Structures are given as structure tokens and as C-alpha cells.
Structure 1
Amino acid sequence: MMHRTEITAPSMFGIPQVIGLQPDQQEALGELVAQWVSKMPRNIERMLYLDGKNKLKDLRIALPPQLVGQLEIVMGWPEKAVYELANRIVLDRITDVDGASDPFDLNRVLFDNRFDVELPMATASSLAQSCAFMSTTPGGDGDPDALVMFHSALWATGIWDRRRRALKSALLINDTDGLGQPTRMTMFLPAETVVCVKGAGWYVEDAIPHRLGRVPMEVIPFRPTLDRPFGRARVDRRVISLTDRALRAGARLEVHSELFSAMKLILLGASEDTFTDDTGKPVPLWSFYMGRLNTLSKDEDGDVPELEQIKAESPEPHIAVMRQLASEFSGHTGVPLGSLGIATDNPESAQSKTVAREDIVADAEKQQTIMTAVLRRGLENVLMIRDGLSERPDGVLDLQFIWRRPDRPTLAAVADSGAKQVGSIQGLAQTTVGMELLGLRPDQIDRAQSELRRTRAASTLDRLQAARTSTEDIPAAGGG
């Protein structure tokens, strides 16, 4: 049973007393629940900004109060901050040190766990909320041998052990009720995984021992530091502040457009009878504006009423404010101005685009290094649980994680650079490394290697056949 998809903050959720837990386990659960409850409001706020559901924070100065509730301005900048970087963190393949594409027979278990689909989701979640989690448990009926699941910080938390540089305990909220109250939780400990369920009271439904010697959950942080091992969110306070300011700027621009979209006129010297019909009822101003022929009578002095037009104010000040906020947002997140919808008079050159993305490319490269270490430990957990091991399998530290280049060079640039490198070493072009340098995709490399093996096998068979034929044609010694 999985947790709910709706995001509802738990209201007054206290630390449950669970029947069946040992005192030290109950203490660990209390620490985990307290941390989850304290972090939930901020995580929900980040998700609302990521989904564009944040409300307009009106300062009650420039916007008409009756319009504030009707304006549905949506600012997608937080989403850009997350996915502009997440889309540059792409895992292409996992190999061993010799380049084998299925080390430890991992492909099947990863396929069964939809690893290639869920890893990008976990990457985006870790960027949005500072971290995500990867858990591994034995599979049940219909599950893979090792069940690998990713969790966002909305539904999981952990306590960090600074000495071991790992989690000393972790908690997963599996399900909640309509009020956001947990009804099912899983606690991960170094020796076992404990499932707690709420009935008339809380009780231990299952305790699953394991032989890892550590918590079977890994944290995937973004920008971790010594003081903040769970990282920092891309949707941070400055992103939230800039989004709020941009939302107000967009609302002011919308109101400005509404106010000045219709022509503004001042009619001087007209009597009230001008705007009444034959029955004495007022004529709606909109009907007067849209009438094909309108007549105005002279006033009592015989003067013709004068009509003056009020010129519309330029929206440029509002646009300038929006451009300034976008520049601040771009400087903080590394997202180029063009990706934020800010057009410039002069199109960006290829070199300027590269320079504009240097910060976000550097962040992506750093995050690839962090995720390599996390995934290596996570896959170590997978192998140990699948095979029932108590020690790390030999060679697991040699797993190679091949990431796509975050700078996204053109195919021509990659091929040109790769050709120069491959040409300097004889035979490199037919190896997996050489093909990677040339920019071939993993599936293209696999097909190329398969065709090369078939070609070599056919060539070897032809040589053997030729040698056999040649031997048969030689007359026996002493024959006459």
C-alpha cells in the first residue's frame, strides 16, 4: 500500500506509541516523526511553488482589492530552476571496470524496478526539496527479488550519523488518511526494517531482518555541506522571494493592460440627458461606447460639448521590473534569461549561450559525482539483499556510472573531438570507450559491438575453413 498522492500537512500529529517496539526503537521512531513533522510545512510550500499553485501575496498598495482574487497569474520560474538542472543529470548506463553492460546481473532487477524511469523523478525531487531517498527491501509476492524505491522528502526522512557518513535510522510514510495523519509507516534500522500500522492503536505489523549492517536507505542530497548533509533545495528562500515579486509584477502588468485596453475619454459640457434614453433610464456606458452613431446636444449656452482622450500609460516600467527580477533569478539559479521568457534585441551567439550556462553545467557535474557515490552504495544494498549476503560483493566498488555530458554539445562537435582522440590511439575506435568518445548512444554502442563480434566470428570461421581446405589440398608425403 502506497502513500497518498495528495499533499496534506498532518494536523497535530504526535509521536505514536507503537506496541511491539523496543525502547530504543521507540526512541528512534520519536526522533524520526518529530523531524518529519517539522520539515513537512516547508516541503509542502516548495511543492506548491514548483507546481505553480502559490498564491499572490498582495501588498495592498497597487492592486485593486476586488481584482486580487480574480487574477490567476502563474509564474513557472521555480519549475525552470529545478528541471533546467535535472534535465542535465542523465544516467546513460552502468558498467563494470571492463565495460560489461550487465555487471552482477543487475539489468533485470533494475528493469523490474523501473529504475530508468524513477531515477529522473528522484533527481528532480532532490533538487526541489534538497534531498530524496532510495530504499531497498526484500521483494514480496510479485515483486523483484530486491525492491528498489525512491521517495521524496515529503514522505521520508532520516537521522544522519556524522561518524559513519550515513543514515542511522530512516522513516517512510506509506499511507495517510484524509487529514494527512499517517496510518502506515516503515522504519529502517541497521539490523531490521519495521512496519508499523494504525488500527485501534499503533502496532508492529512486520519486522524484516537484514544482514547489511546499515540502514537500507540512502539519501540523495543536492549541494550537501558538512553542516547540512541533507543538502539545500533549488526552490530556496531566494527563489521563493523572487517568484513572489515576479508574481506581483505580473499582476500589476495585467491590471495595467485591463485599465488601458479600452479608450479613456473625458466629455466636457455635456448634460445628464445625454446619457439617458427616452424613458429617462441611464444608458449603459458600454452601449454608448459601442454605438455606431452617437449624438450630443448643445448645452444651455449653445456650446458644443468637448471630447478629450486620455493617453494610455506605457507598460514599459512593469516590463523593466520583470526583466530585472528575471536577471536576479538567472544569476541565482544559472537558468538563462531566454529560458525565463525574457527576449533580447540581439540573438545570443553560441558562445554566449555556453557562457550563460557555465554555472548550471558545473552544478550538474558536481551532482553527478554525488549521485555516483549514492547509487553505488544503493546498488550494493540491492546485491546484498538479493543474494542474501552479509558483506560487500567483490568488484562492486568498480561499478562505472556513465553520465550524459551536461553541457549538451552538438553531435558534430562531439564527433570532431572524439575523432581526434580516437585517431591518436590505434584500435581505440572499435572499443566501447572509443565509441563513447565519438558520441554514440548506449544502444548504438551495443549494436555496433554486436555487429563487430559477428564480423570477427565470420572472419575467423572463413580463415579456419580456408586453412582446412589448404591442408586437404597438400598431397601426402611419399605419395606417387
Structure 2
Amino acid sequence: MSVVSASWQVPRFVAGVSDQELDIIRGLFVTLAEKYPRNVVRSMYFDGKMPLKPTGNIPQEAMQRIQAVSDWPEKAVSALAERSVFEGFVTPGGLQDPFELGGILDANRFDLELPQAITSAYKHSCSFITTARGDVQAGEPEVVVMARSAEWSTAMWDKRRRTVSAALTLKDWDSSGQPSSMDVFLPDVVLSMTKRPSGSWVTERRPNALGEVLVEPLAYDPQIDRPFGRSRISRPVMNITDHALSTIVRTEISADFYAAPRMMALGVTKDAFASGKWEAAIDRWFAITKDEDGDVPTVQQFAQMTMQPLTDLYRMYATQFSGATGVPVANLGIVTDNPPSAEALFADDRRLVNTAKRQNRIMASSLRRVAQKIVRLRDGSGLTPELQQLDASWANPAFTSPTAAADALQKLSLVFPWLSESEVALEFAGFSQTEITRLLSDKRRSQTTNALSALSQLGKTTGAQTGDNQG
């Protein structure tokens, strides 16, 4: 996506749109234009393209010459996003593919689309997933599921219903950086708006039979006063990153002085440094003559400066960043002389794991509604009790060694013998959903083979007994 101007022109008149709908569109448009600059800033920090902030102590020339980059803001996002691994939809009955969602999700590349939506949500505070009837004749899936970034999408929140009441997403821009195409999602209709070369807007209206907005937000840490959450790249994260970058610049400057220690020469002639002070500092041999009075010059070296304070300062900022995000310090490139124990690593990782578990529960609510809308759009049905029981399954965000998982599972099976026959036991052991499906398929195949063998053996035994009786 190209970076466009935040001074967008609010549509004044749109053909095919009522006055009430136009008021909603204008409100959404203004909100998106207001949020856009800040979202661009967060994207710059995520991509490592943030400019160095002047400190007043470092010369501007040095700030421009030294290329200091930090990936800490990206770590704040990816460290958590990597622990939000969606494995599929499940029901209390334990069906492998409830409501036959696998085909539609695969056609929409949902395994690729959802991780991008999660990363975008942690970057900008939220992202959106839209659903719509697809044009099968044109090669689209029966239901189109798309992830939308908050950088070019916005929505209104209905506090009483706890749902999105209206949403807008930009699709294209003209040569001047003004939006030229957008979709507006309302409870009873989806408006596809396009701007003509003359500047006027035209609309294609597509009825929405579900009677609710076909948009679901994926939010990070939603609050009562902030239903669309907040960004992982928060103000403290950006401030700490700025200080860390300044420390990197100071370290680069100090490294040059560290490589060439400062010298002092007393009683030398004017031509002692005719070749230049830098050459005198780096030459292997350095010779100076006596002064005019015949006195031998005195050469001294200032005490060598140490870079340890700068290293300690950088480590302090890494500790602050870890405290603000929950990302372990070791993930920020800080190496300790004494490697931590397994228990220390587990404790250091615990906060991020707890955050991931909480986030997975929050996003599961939105994904469950996405799946319900897919089924209802595809089948033209209502919200059935069976569909309401649909839920999202996530991989365990905490790393557990296979040995520890097997030992715990064995102990639990002694207390709950029926646990070993449950799919939950396979999930607890660390198997992915794909592996669980293959294992259960192999189990059923083995059971069928054993049953056929038993029937064959029973038939042989019965035949032999019948022959003996006839004889």
C-alpha cells in the first residue's frame, strides 16, 4: 500500500446513498483521516524506518551520517503474534470440520490471511475481517473472507449490542493521493463506492440479508473506553526505542575515539605534525625532534575512555522495553555471561504466555462470529443453537518439551483413565491439528483392519465347527 495524504476530502454528495447513510460515511471518513497519521508512525517503527530524534548533545551531522536501526518495535508485535496460532474451529461434539468450513477457509487462504490480520492488530491496535457473498462465476469463493488493516479501515462500535454498527475500508487511491474507491458496511446493505474522474461518487448497493454488519474486529487489549484496543507499539515503546537509538549513535561516535586514544605532546616544534594529527595517531612509528632550545618533547596519553557506561545504558533501555512489552531481554539481543536456567527462562516467558492466552480468548470471540457469518451467508440460514456452540481452537502458546508433556500426560491418565482416549490428550502432547487428524485416521484404519480380521477369523472358526457337526 502506498502512503497517501491524511488531508483527504470528505465526500459531500454520493449518488445512490441516503442522507442518513452519508452522515455515517462522513463520520467514518473523518475518523479514518484522523487516525491515519498515527498508524503510519507505528508502521514506520515496525519497519525500522523511524527517524532519529535530535538530542541536542549529538551534532546534527553525526545524526545524519550514522544509520541507526532498531527492530525492538517489531519484536513487541511478532513475539506475541507468533504465539497466536489458530488451529481451526471446533464444537463440543469434537467434529474435525464442523459445518464444512474447511473448503471455504482454504479457498480464502485463511491460514495465510489470519496471521497477517493478527500481526496488523497488534501493530495498530486492531484489524478487521470482512465477509461477503462471492461471485462464483468469476472464480471467487462462495463466501469471500478478507483481512483489513486499521491503517486504511475504521468502524463504529455499538456499546449496547457489543458489535460493529458501521465500517468503512479504502480500496484504491487516485494520482493525487485521494481515496477513489471504498466499501461501506452497514447492517442492511454493503455500499461499494467509486469516484469518477469528474470527482463525483457513484454507489453499487448490495443487500445484506443477515441484518448485521459483516465486519468483525480483532483487537489487542480492548477496554471499555477503547473497544478497538490499543497498539503494542505504544508511546512508552516508541520513547524507549528513541532513547536506544540515540545510545547506538553515541556508541558509534565513542567507538571512533576509543580506536584512536587522545594524546598530548609538550615542547614540540610547529612542524611536528606536518603530516597530520590523524596520521600521527595511527602510524606504527612516530618520531618528533627536539624543540628550539634542545629540550626533549614530552608525549603523554590521556586516560583511555571506556564504553561500558553506554553498554550499561543500552542494557537499561532493553530492560525497560522488556518491562513494557513482556518480551524477554534475551530476545532483544542482550547476552548474559551466565545463561539462565530452564526455570528462569520459563518464568521470564510467563508474562508473554499469559498475554497470548488472554488475547486468544478475546480473538476467539470475533473468529467465532466470522465463522457463523460464513455459514449463514453460504446456507442462507439463521443462527442455530449448534452454530452458537462453535468455538476457535488455538495452539498452546507456551513451549513444553515433549518429554515433560509425555510425563504429565502419563500422570494425568492414571487419575483420569479415559483421558488417553480423548483428542485433548493429543493436543496436550503437542501435536498439531493436522497431525491429530492423521493420527485419528490411522487409528480408525487400524481398528477397521482389526475388525475385518476378527470377522474373517470368526467366519473360519464357524465354518470349521459346522463341518465337524455335519461329519
- Given the two structures, how large is their TM-score scaled by the length of structure 2? 0.94
Q: Which whole-Å CA distance do the structure 1 matches of 2:258 and 2:464 have between them?
A: 100
The partner residue of 1:147 within 144, 148, 152 is 144
Distance in 2 (CA, whole Å) between partners of 1:231 and 1:176 is 27
Of the three residues 22, 27, 30, the one matched with 2:26 is 30
The answer to whether the Cα contact below 8 Å between 1:384 and 1:393 also exists between their aligned partners in 2 is no
Structure 1 partner of 2:424: 433
CA offset at residue 395 of structure 1? 1.4
Paired with 1:168 and 1:143, the residues of 2 have a C-alpha distance of: 27
Structure 1 residues 478 and 77, CA gap change in structure 2 (3 angstroms)? closer
Q: In structure 1, what is the equivalent of residue 444 of structure 2?
A: 453
Of the candidates 13, 16, 24, which is equivalent to residue 9 of structure 2? 13
Name stretches of at least 5 consecutive residues in structure 1 with no aligned partner: 277-282
Instruction: Confirm whether residue 134 of structure 1 aligns to residue 129 of structure 2.
Output: yes
Q: CA deviation at 1:13?
A: 3.0
Rounded to whole Å, the distance in 2 between the matches of 1:478 and 1:147 is 68
Count of matched residue positions in the alignment of Structure 1 and Structure 2: 468
Q: Deviations over 1:298-327 (max 9, x none)?
A: 211011222222233111221222222222
Superposed counterparts of 1:283-294, under 5 Å: 283-291=275-283, 293-294=285-286
Partner of 2:322: 330
RMSD: 2.0
**CA deviation map 1:28-59 (0-9, x unaligned):** 10010011001101111111111111111112
Residues 196, 206 of structure 1: 8 Å contact kept = yes
Distance 1:302 1:476, change over 3 A: closer
Deviations 1:255-296 (A, max 9, x none): 1112222132222222223344xxxxxx34444445455442
**Alignment gaps of 5+ in structure 2:** none
Q: Which moved more, 1:158-167 or 1:175-184?
A: 175-184
Q: Does structure 2 conserve the Cα–Cα contact (< 8 Å) formed by 1:50 and 1:79?
A: yes
Q: Which runs of structure 2 are paired with 1:170-249 in the superposition (5 Å)? A: 170-199=167-196, 200-249=198-247
Task: Please say if residues 7 and 33 of structure 2, whose CA atoms lie closer than 8 Å, have aligned partners that are also in contact.
Answer: no
Q: Are the equivalent residues in 2 in contact too, given 1:376–1:396 (CA < 8 A)? A: no
Separation of aligned partners in 2, 1:478 and 1:168? 80
- In 1, distance between residues paired with 2:127 and 2:460? 65
Q: Which amino acid aligns with 1:196?
A: M
Deviation of 1:149 after TM superposition, in Å, equals 0.5
Query: What residue in structure 2 maps to residue 373 of structure 1?
Result: 365
Q: CA deviation at 1:97?
A: 2.0
Q: Deviations over 1:420-460 (max 9, x none)?
A: 22343345424322222332222222222111111111122
Choose the corresponding residue for 1:111, options 90, 106, 114. Answer: 106
Call closer, same or farther: CA 1:57–1:392 in 2, change over 3 Å. Answer: same
For residues 468 and 134 of structure 1, what CA distance do their matches in structure 2 show? 58
Task: Report the 3-state secondary structure (helix = DSSP H, G, I; strand = E; otherwise coil) of the residue aligned with 1:395.
Answer: helix
SS of 1:408 mapped into structure 2 = coil
Partner of 2:375: 383
Q: Counterparts of 2:105 and 2:340 in 1: how far apart (Å)?
A: 41
Amino acid at match of 1:310: F
**Alpha-carbon distance between aligned partners in 1 of 2:458 and 2:334, rounded to the nearest angstrom:** 71
CA contact (8 A) 2:260 2:282 kept: no
Q: Does 1:261 align with 2:259?
A: yes
User: Helix, strand or coil for the counterpart of 2:248?
Assistant: helix
1:72 corresponding residue in structure 2: 67
Check 1:407–1:321 CA distance in 2 against 1; reply closer, same or farther (3 A cut): same
**Out of 152, 155, 158, which is 1:158 matched to?**
155
Cα deviation, residue 186, structure 1: 0.3
Distance of 1:202 and 1:216 partners within structure 2: 26
Matched letter for residue 172 of structure 1: T
Q: What is the SS of the residue equivalent to 2:263?
A: strand
2:267 and 2:296 in contact (8 A); partners too? yes
1:307 matched to which residue of 2? 299
Q: Does the 8 Å contact 2:70/2:241 carry over to 1?
A: yes
Q: Residue 468 of structure 1 is aligned with which of 459, 466, 469?
A: 459
Do the aligned residues in 2 keep the contact of 1:81 with 1:333 (CA within 8 Å)? yes
Alignment partners' CA distance in 2, 1:192 and 1:12: 25
**1:346 paired residue number:** 338
Deviation at 1:14, TM superposition (A): 2.8
Aligned partner of 1:86 in structure 2 is 81
Q: Which amino acid aligns with 1:258?
A: D
User: Sequence identity, in percent?
Assistant: 34
Q: What corresponds to 1:280 in structure 2?
A: none
Render the CA deviation track for 1:229-264: whole Å, top value 9, x for unaligned.
011111111111111111112211221112222132
In 2: Cα distance, 1:331 partner to 1:291 partner: 47
Cα distance change on mapping 1:218 and 1:54 into 2, 3 Å:
same
Q: Is the 8 A contact 2:17 2:203 kept in 1?
A: no
Equivalence for 1:318:
310
Instruction: Give how far 1:129 is off.
Output: 1.0
| Structure 1 CA distance for aligned equivalents of residues 323 and 222 of structure 2 | 21
Paired with 1:192 and 1:322, the residues of 2 have a C-alpha distance of: 54
Greater share of residues in helix: 2
| 3-state SS in 2 of match to 1:357 | helix
Give, as a single letter, the amino acid of the residue that structure 2 aligns with 1:103.
P
- 2:418 is equivalent to residue 418 of structure 1: no
Measured after TM superposition, the shift of residue 382 of structure 1 is 1.1
For 2:349 and 2:468, how far apart are their aligned partners in 1? Answer: 77
Residue in structure 2 matching 1:57, options 28, 53, 56: 53
Distance 1:476 1:321 in 2: 93
Q: Given that residues 156 and 170 in structure 1 are in contact (C-alpha distance below 8 angstroms), is that contact kept between their aligned partners in structure 2?
A: yes
Contact 1:75–1:247 (8 Å) recurs in 2: yes
Distance 2:192 2:228 in 1: 24
Q: 1:12 deviation in Å?
A: 4.3
Deviations 1:77-113 (A, max 9, x none): 1111111111111112322222221111110110111
- AA in 2 matched with 1:446: T
Length-normalised TM-score, structure 1: 0.92
Instruction: Tell me how far apart the structure 2 counterparts of residues 179 and 48 of structure 1 sit (CA, whole Å).
Output: 22
Provide closer, same or farther for how the CA distance between residues 437 and 295 of structure 1 changes in structure 2, counting only shifts above 3 A: closer
